[in-house]
Amino acid sequence: MLTKDQFEGIFNSFYVDVKNYVYYKIADVHRSEDIAQEAFLVLWEKRDQVRIETVKSFLYAIASNLTVDHFRKENVKLRFTKSAEKESRIPFAESPQYLVEFNEFEIKLQEAISNLTEKQRVVFLMNRIDGLKYAEIAERLGISIKTVEKRMGNTLKELRKKINFKV
């Protein structure tokens, strides 16, 4: 049985990791926060059944099940939204044509990322959003560095093709 103090420690230790875990799967930061919070609520409700030695895996199982439920209930098309980042990338006094082109590019990019396989999306977001190196990604996912390199290469090729990116 978890005490209130143990639960607070678990929450402080794992909340960000659980939220990121869900975010990698659904690509929606706000919904991933909701699901992570809901996972901790379920953990608290089941505190009598929880052993402290297995709490981390139990918590991830809860988060995974809630993520699956999210897809079943809402049948959501995956979205990749970074509105704060988007706003900071657009200079204030740009021309209307630039803004329209930028918005079109953002839509294409979001759609392309949402259509990636889960494995590709996870590796891509871990590298591009979290700034993790390939070795760190490989270690966290339990795969080889070569597998990470291959997934990133294929992902970048696919994104370039889908958004018709020209340098």
Question: Residues 79-89, buried b or exposed e (16+ Cβ, 10 A)?
Answer: ebeeeeeeeee
Please give the pLDDT value at position 73.
61
Please give the pLDDT value at position 45.
93
Q: Can you name the CATH fold of 4-74? A: Rna Polymerase Sigma Factor; Chain: A (1.10.1740)
Rounded to two decimals, the pTM is 0.49
Stretch(es) of the chain classified as CATH 1.10.10.10: 83-163
Helix (H), strand (E), coil (C) string for 19-74: HHHHHHHHCCHHHHHHHHHHHHHHHHHCHHHCCHHHHHHHHHHHHHHHHHHHHHHH
Mapping DSSP to helix (H, G, I), strand (E, B) and coil, where does residue 96 land? helix
Q: How many CB atoms lie within 10 A of CB 167?
A: 3
Backbone dihedral angles phi then psi of residue 19, each to the nearest 5 degrees? -60, -45
Instruction: At 107, list the tokens.
Output: 């839509």
Q: What is the pLDDT of residues 2-53, one digit of tens each?
A: 889 999 999 999 999 999 989 888 888 898 999 999 999 999 999 988 888 8
Stretch(es) of the chain classified as CATH 1.10.1740: 4-74
Q: What is the pLDDT of residues 87-103, one digit of tens each?
A: 445 454 456 776 777 77
- State the pLDDT confidence band at 84, using cuts at 50, 70 and 90: very low
Arch. (CATH architecture) of 83-163: Orthogonal Bundle (1.10)
- Specify the higher pLDDT residue, 85 or 39: 39
